[in-house]
């Protein structure tokens, strides 16, 4: 999968992750894209560790599920980290 495919996959995985875990996140579109792309990489590592193979081609359901899973994990970590920073302003 080429770099454009990774960006599109990551962006869509990030959007799906935000739809599954709705809430306010600072950063908007760019942060969603970064969370999605990095989350897809995390999903690939998880898939490689568990199944012996990570992300496959763009149209593989396994690729999409792993990318979304990784994006959800990263989004949860992001919210915990950013949430701590925003709640300490007094």
CA atoms within 13 Å, Cβ hemisphere of 71: 28
- pTM assigned to the model: 0.79
Looking at residue 42, its pLDDT comes to 86
pLDDT of residue 78 exceeding 80: yes
pLDDT digits (tens, 9 = 90+) for 27-65: 677 888 888 888 888 888 888 888 777 667 777 888 888
Backbone angles phi, psi at 42, to 5 degrees: -60, -45
Looking at residue 86, its pLDDT comes to 59
When the pLDDT of each residue in the chain is averaged and rounded to a whole number, the result is: 81
Give the whole-angstrom CA distance, residue 57 versus residue 81.
Answer: 32
Q: What percent of the chain has pLDDT over 70?
A: 84
Give the whole-angstrom CA distance, residue 63 versus residue 49.
Answer: 14
Give the whole-angstrom CA distance, residue 79 versus residue 86.
Answer: 10
Tokens of 7: 């960006």
């Amino acid at each position: 999968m080429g770099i454009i495919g990774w960006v599109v996959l990551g962006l869509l995985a990030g959007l799906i992750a935000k739809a599954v875990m709705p809430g306010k996140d600072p950063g908007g579109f760019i942060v969603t894209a970064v969370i999605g792309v990095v989350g897809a990489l995390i999903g690939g590592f998880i898939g490689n560790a568990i199944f012996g193979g990570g992300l496959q081609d763009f149209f593989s359901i396994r690729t999409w599920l792993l990318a979304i899973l990784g994006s959800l994990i990263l989004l949860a970590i992001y919210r915990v980290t950013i949430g701590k920073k925003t709640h300490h302003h007094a």
